[in-house]
């Protein structure tokens, strides 16, 4: 038993060395079972205090030393005695377990990507077994280390790791139903399907950008809440990305920001396997990634043998942790499909099952005598310690937080909102309200009033713009810039990197339920970030997209800058709220909706131009999506219904006024969010758009595509089914027929 205790001790010290910053809470083995004996050395020089702090734990909870005092010398010692202390045989057995769980699951599904898990199993093992701090029985534990598989197609790696680590979300039957209907192990990692998955990946490059967001969130919270006597926020973000991620522009955007912000606790593993779907990366990817990342301000380490160089990987992580002012890229050269004698190092192992014959050959080659999906007992036992250890880690942190709360009430209260996702009582009272007497203003300016009011009551509100803060009107006036040396601030400067911005905000949103990230650019440039916005919608990340300059109303910048099809394109997207407020109250209503919907992102389209505060608009109206703002009819039977959104609601209202003077019974409906209207009861819908009234005219300075649903076959949609033009806004409105006169003419024609 002495041997195995020593083994565990050495592993613990290694882990401590690797984890670095917080030696007091590193993993120490709780198991006393027999294990493969390692051939190690080097523990003799340990001080007695080190030994006594770790050996012979007697129970789960007491086994972990939680005091933070006097352990720095221990850590130093541990670092010096890092090498050759690992039970290589067991490690390899664990790594091969990961490989074969992946192989077997893909084989059973006859679909999936075995190549990456086989190549990345070593770094995966070291991360989940030796380095990361998590609680498998509570995937929401706030201070856990985060892991992102940016190369999401290799998800069997992560499922295998979650399975071994003891997450209940991935049981053996889940591995066996990989990629099947209703399973918890879909074809790419989905945070909303599999507890323990942090973000949804698969679309390449998103994950590394999410990871930047997660690391930003940590750095921000640590700076904001940690105290000299209590490091209450302290975790790492690990990510594995592949060649595909590296080629995507979004990863360069995010990496440039990570370097700029000095995200020292972001550690990215670049699975450098030289193979992508079309073959050797030589055909399309010959840049020097190392040099690029150095240029981006990262610390770069190269692990030349990622297949079996376990100590190299460990040493790289250790080194990465010593670099606290820069993110680290660990380029790990691996062999895709490692272990497969005939398919490794080729694209054929990337995205297809190996096939029975090659699975057999791989079993032989790696000397793996087990049945499919079998986890050897010693491996199982070895990993079993993570359950009690994880519980202890969380308990330790909870105790620490209780202490913190006693001393720092206010901060603890703020942090709890961020951790829990609850809203401070009465937060919505901060929303500004308006009357028609308030001066006309651009909704982008009204948006800024909302942001600046809300930031005072919502501890998790944080965000910024892609180099258009002064145009998008997104600056939080009571805060400075989140920067490398001022990470406690809440204005994020994303630079002209829309795609990275969206994905970073997804990472922030999914870091903790109480984060409410917002980001901004011109509405037309949602085209640059659409893939990230879609992931917000799919992964239930409640990002608020503040999108200004929402129509031809922006004027002279012309068609490259004027959205036309964008409203329709987001109305067509599942699980996202497309809001287009018309004035002050509707802007406030849009923010209320956006804040409340934490699992459904919102896009708020805002005007560059001034708009009057209209009579009849309201926050409550916005919450229903579509509602009547004025009506001179009775019995729910107007002669005509005029429907507008955003800047064109004013036109509809003006047309109604004229028509009423001519004796018409006219209802004006604001259709600020189609999705919210869809969610209403049939009775409510009938009260706004009675089926019997087919004389309906809509006006919106955008494509008419989709409006048939609202105006019906007999109605008329006024819009713009061409690209815009460069000229003063008023001129374009007139030339394109987005006018009161056009509404009146259409209304008369129909009623």
**Please, which of residues 180-239 interact with a copy of itself by CB under 8 A?**
180-183, 186-188, 190, 200-205
Which neighbouring-strand residues pair with 602? 544, 577
Residue 162 to residue 170: CA distance in whole angstroms: 6
* Nearest distance in Å: CB 550, a copy of itself: 15
Contact 469, 475 (CB under 8 A): yes
Tokens of 613: 């505060």
* Nearest distance in Å: CB 484, a copy of itself: 9
Answer yes or no: is 682 a known binding residue: no
Tokens of 114: 């075995």
Residue partners of 661: CB distance under 8 A and separation at least 6: none
* Nearest distance in Å: CB 170, a copy of itself: 14
723 lies in the binding site for a copy of itself (CB under 8 A): yes
* Nearest distance in Å: CB 327, a copy of itself: 12
Question: How remote is the C-alpha of 527 from its chain's centroid?
Answer: 18
Select from 78-86, 216-224, 395-403, 714-722 the region that touches a copy of itself (CB under 8 A): 714-722
* Nearest distance in Å: CB 28, a copy of itself: 39
**Which residues from 491-510 bind a copy of itself, rule CB under 8 A?**
493-500
Residue 356 to residue 368: CA distance in whole angstroms: 15
Which residue intervals of 144-226 are DSSP H helices? 155-165, 172-176, 206-225
Residue partners of 318: CB distance under 8 A and separation at least 6: 17, 18, 20, 79, 82
Q: Which residue has the tokens 């209802």?
A: 667
430 lies in the binding site for a copy of itself (CB under 8 A): no
**Which residues from 525-544 bind a copy of itself, rule CB under 8 A?**
525, 527-528, 530-531, 534-535, 537-538
φ, ψ of residue 603 to 5 degrees: the values are -115, 120
End-to-end CA distance of the chain: 91
523 lies in the binding site for a copy of itself (CB under 8 A): no
Tokens of 69: 């005092």
Which neighbouring-strand residues pair with 486? 483
480 lies in the binding site for a copy of itself (CB under 8 A): no
Give 18 or 738: the residue with its C-beta nearer to a copy of itself: 738
Select from 10-18, 410-418, 592-600, 727-735 the region that touches a copy of itself (CB under 8 A): 727-735
Task: Provide the mask over 5-24, with x wherever binding to a copy of itself is found by CB under 8 A and - wherever it is not.
Answer: --------------------
Residues 125, 144, 220, 561: which binds a copy of itself (CB under 8 A)? 561
Answer yes or no: is 117 a known binding residue: no
550 lies in the binding site for a copy of itself (CB under 8 A): no
Contact 506, 492 (CB under 8 A): no
**Which residues from 265-324 bind a copy of itself, rule CB under 8 A?**
276-278, 281, 283-297
**CB count in 10 Å sphere of residue 65:** 18
Give 190 or 389: the residue with its C-beta nearer to a copy of itself: 190
Strands (E), 134-257: 146-149, 237-242
Of the candidates 498, 586, 650, 700, the residue annotated as catalytic is 498
732 lies in the binding site for a copy of itself (CB under 8 A): yes
Contact 627, 688 (CB under 8 A): yes
* Nearest distance in Å: CB 208, a copy of itself: 12
**Which residues from 649-708 bind a copy of itself, rule CB under 8 A?**
703, 705-706, 708
**Which residues from 131-170 bind a copy of itself, rule CB under 8 A?**
152
Helix or strand or coil: residue 189?
A: coil
Which neighbouring-strand residues pair with 611? 441
To the query of whether residue 498 is one of the catalytic residues in this protein, the response is yes
Q: Which residue has the tokens 């009819």?
A: 633
Give 6 or 539: the residue with its C-beta nearer to a copy of itself: 539
Answer yes or no: is 204 a known binding residue: yes
**Which residues from 22-41 bind a copy of itself, rule CB under 8 A?**
none
Nearest alpha-carbon partner for 391 in 62, 58, 54: 62
Residues 86, 256, 328, 633: which binds a copy of itself (CB under 8 A)? 256
Contact 560, 571 (CB under 8 A): no
**CB count in 10 Å sphere of residue 463:** 27
Residues 42, 712, 745, 748: which binds a copy of itself (CB under 8 A)? 712
CA triple 526-577-716, angle to 5 deg? 90
Tokens of 469: 């803060």
Answer yes or no: is 113 a known binding residue: yes
248 lies in the binding site for a copy of itself (CB under 8 A): yes
Summarize the annotated binding site for substrate as residue ranges.
113, 350, 444, 471, 549, 557, 561, 608
Summarize the annotated binding site for Mg(2+) as residue ranges.
243, 273, 275
Summarize the annotated binding site as residue ranges.
113, 153, 202-204, 243-244, 273, 275, 350, 444, 471, 525, 549, 557, 561, 608
Summarize the annotated binding site for thiamine diphosphate as residue ranges.
153, 202-204, 244, 273, 350, 525
Active site residues: 498
């Amino acid at each position: 038993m002495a041997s195995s205790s020593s083994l565990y001790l050495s592993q613990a010290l290694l882990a401590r060395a690797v984890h670095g910053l917080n030696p007091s809470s590193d993993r120490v083995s709780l198991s006393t079972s027999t294990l493969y004996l390692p051939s190690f050395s080097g523990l003799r020089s340990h001080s007695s205090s080190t030994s006594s702090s770790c050996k012979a734990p007697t129970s789960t909870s007491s086994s972990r030393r939680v005091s933070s005092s006097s352990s720095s010398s221990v850590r130093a010692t541990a670092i010096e005695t890092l090498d050759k202390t690992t039970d290589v045989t067991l490690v390899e057995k664990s790594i091969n377990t990961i490989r074969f769980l992946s192989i077997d699951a893909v084989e059973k599904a006859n679909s999936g990507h075995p190549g990456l898990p086989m190549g990345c199993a070593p770094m995966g093992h070291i991360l989940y077994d030796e380095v990361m701090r998590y609680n498998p029985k509570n995937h929401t534990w706030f201070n856990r280390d985060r892991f992102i598989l940016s190369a999401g197609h290799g998800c069997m790696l992560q499922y295998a790791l979650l399975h071994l680590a003891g997450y209940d979300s991935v049981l053996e039957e889940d591995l066996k139903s990989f990629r099947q209907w209703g399973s918890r192990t879909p074809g790419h990692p989905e945070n909303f399907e599999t507890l323990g998955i942090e973000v949804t990946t698969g679309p390449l490059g998103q994950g590394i950008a999410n990871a930047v967001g997660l690391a930003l969130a940590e750095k921000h919270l640590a700076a904001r809440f940690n105290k000299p006597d209590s490091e209450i926020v302290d975790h790492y973000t690990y990510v594995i990305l592949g060649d595909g991620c590296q080629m995507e522009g979004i990863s360069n955007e995010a990496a440039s920001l990570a370097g700029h912000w000095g995200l020292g606790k972001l550690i990215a593993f670049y699975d450098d396997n030289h193979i992508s779907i079309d073959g050797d990366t030589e055909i399309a990817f010959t840049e020097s990634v190392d040099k690029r990342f150095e240029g981006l301000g990262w610390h770069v380490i190269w692990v030349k043998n990622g297949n079996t160089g376990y100590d190299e990987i460990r040493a790289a992580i250790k080194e990465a942790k010593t670099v606290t002012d820069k993110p680290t890229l660990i380029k790990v050269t691996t062999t895709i499909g490692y272990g497969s004698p005939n398919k490794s190092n080729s694209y054929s192992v990337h995205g297809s099952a190996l096939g029975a014959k090659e699975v057999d050959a791989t079993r032989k080659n790696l000397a793996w005598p087990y049945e499919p999906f079998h986890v050897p007992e010693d491996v199982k036992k070895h990993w079993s310690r993570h359950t009690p250890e994880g519980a202890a880690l969380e308990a330790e942190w909870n105790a620490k937080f209780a202490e913190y709360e006693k001393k720092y009430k206010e901060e603890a209260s703020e942090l709890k909102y961020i951790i829990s996702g609850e809203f401070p009582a009465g937060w919505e009272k901060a929303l500004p309200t308006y009357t028609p007497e308030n001066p006309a203003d651009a909704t982008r300016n009204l948006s800024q009033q909302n942001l600046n009011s809300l930031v005072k009551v919502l501890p998790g509100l944080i965000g910024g713009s892609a180099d258009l803060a002064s145009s998008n009107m997104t600056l939080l006036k009571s805060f400075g810039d989140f920067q490398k040396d001022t990470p406690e601030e809440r204005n994020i400067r994303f630079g002209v990197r829309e795609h990275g911005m969206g994905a970073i905000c997804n990472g922030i949103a999914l870091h903790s339920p109480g984060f409410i990230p917002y980001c901004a650019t011109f509405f037309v440039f949602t085209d640059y970030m659409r893939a990230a916005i879609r992931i917000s919608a799919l992964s239930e990340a409640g990002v608020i997209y503040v999108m200004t300059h929402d129509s031809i109303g922006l004027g002279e910048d012309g068609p490259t800058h004027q959205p036309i099809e964008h409203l329709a394109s987001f109305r067509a997207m599942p699980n996202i709220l497309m809001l287009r407020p018309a004035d002050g109250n509707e802007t406030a209503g849009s923010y209320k909706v956006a804040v409340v919907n934490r699992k459904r992102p919102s896009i708020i389209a805002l005007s560059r131009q001034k708009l009057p505060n209209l009579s009849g608009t309201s926050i409550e109206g916005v919450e229903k999506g579509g509602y009547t703002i004025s009506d001179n009819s009775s019995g729910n039977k107007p002669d005509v219904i005029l429907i507008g959104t955003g800047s064109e609601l004013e036109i509809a209202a003006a047309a109604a006024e004229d028509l009423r003077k001519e004796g018409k019974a006219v209802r004006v409906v604001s259709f600020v969010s189609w999705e919210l209207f869809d969610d209403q009861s049939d009775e409510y819908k009938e009260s706004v758009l009675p089926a019997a009234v087919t004389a309906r005219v809509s006006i919106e300075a955008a494509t008419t595509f989709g409006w048939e649903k609202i105006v019906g076959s007999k109605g008329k949609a006024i819009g713009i089914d061409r690209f815009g033009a460069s000229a003063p806004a008023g001129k374009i409105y007139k030339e394109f027929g987005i006018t009161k006169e056009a509404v009146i003419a259409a209304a008369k024609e129909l009623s």
